[in-house]
Amino acid sequence: MNAVDQFVIYDNIQFTKKGWINRNRFLLNSQPQTFTLPLKKDSDYLDVSERYLSDIHDEHVKKLLRQFEAAYAKTPHFYEGVKLLRECLLFNDKNLFNFVYHSIKTVRDYLSIDTELVISSSLDIDHDLRSAEKVKAICHNLNADTYINPHGGVDLYDKDDFDAENLTLKFLKPQEIEYDQNQSGHTPWLSIIDLIMFCRKSEIQQKLSEFDYL
């Protein structure tokens, strides 16, 4: 998000159980631990905006907060981190997309990132388009000349295809961020809440700028 002027968040795409929309990882007893926000049982073909958090969500969040508080009790920025975490997890809208959007916006504001958040369904494009065609339509709608995608999508999009429509395609690969986690060695690729618990805001802002383009 820190690398772009506008960050498009898809709400009208199909929810996938194998994705990370409702789960992430944190550090528990020096080991990476996956946490999940349970969802109501529903059709596997619904969009993210049509899915809802489970009826047990409130109790689950209370338990999750206790786990986080125990895991990070001795971190240097514990109180800031827990305050931010509570602001995200105790959001009272049970719609999955609204919940995720609120969390992203809350973290963005905390880190003083001035990137504009754009909801995909709000754009005047043909929403039946798929893959690269939809991405290019979004770029044109936003008058963008560059599209930046995580490096995991390097096999999904072709630079020549984008170049043919006067769009520059870049793939962003974050450098492996290391910081003191009160343990020997470093456990990478955790939720940003781990970084917030251990590092000053100015340090985080610097580390978020440590990436390469492919």
Which pLDDT does position 18 carry in this prediction? 85
Which pLDDT does position 210 carry in this prediction? 92
Q: What is the domain count for the chain?
A: 1
Domain carrying residue 41: 6-213
- The rounded distance, in Å, linking the Cα atoms of 196 and 78 is 8
Q: Which of 97, 126, 121 is nearest to 19 (CA)?
A: 97
Q: Is residue 146 part of a domain?
A: yes
Predicted confidence (pLDDT) at residue 17 exceeds the cutoff of 90: no
pLDDT band at 96, cuts 50/70/90? very high
Residues 6+ apart with CB under 8 A from 95: 49, 51, 52, 53
Q: Is residue 1 part of a domain?
A: no
Q: Which of 82, 118, 109, 100 is nearest to 194 (CA)?
A: 82
Predicted confidence (pLDDT) at residue 66 exceeds the cutoff of 90: yes
Q: Is residue 106 part of a domain?
A: yes
Predicted confidence (pLDDT) at residue 176 exceeds the cutoff of 90: no
Locate 97 and state its tokens.
């997309």
Supply the DSSP symbol for 141. Answer: H
Q: Is residue 157 part of a domain?
A: yes
Q: Is residue 64 part of a domain?
A: yes
Q: Is the pTM of this model over 0.85?
A: yes
Residues 6+ apart with CB under 8 A from 106: 84, 87, 88
Average pLDDT value over all residues in the chain: 96
Question: Are 51 and 65 in contact, with CB atoms under 8 Å apart?
Answer: no
Which pLDDT does position 171 carry in this prediction? 97
pLDDT digits (tens, 9 = 90+) for 20-40: 999 999 999 999 999 999 999
Query: Could you tell me if residue 51 is left (phi over 0), alpha (psi between -120 and 50 degrees) or otherwise beta?
Result: beta
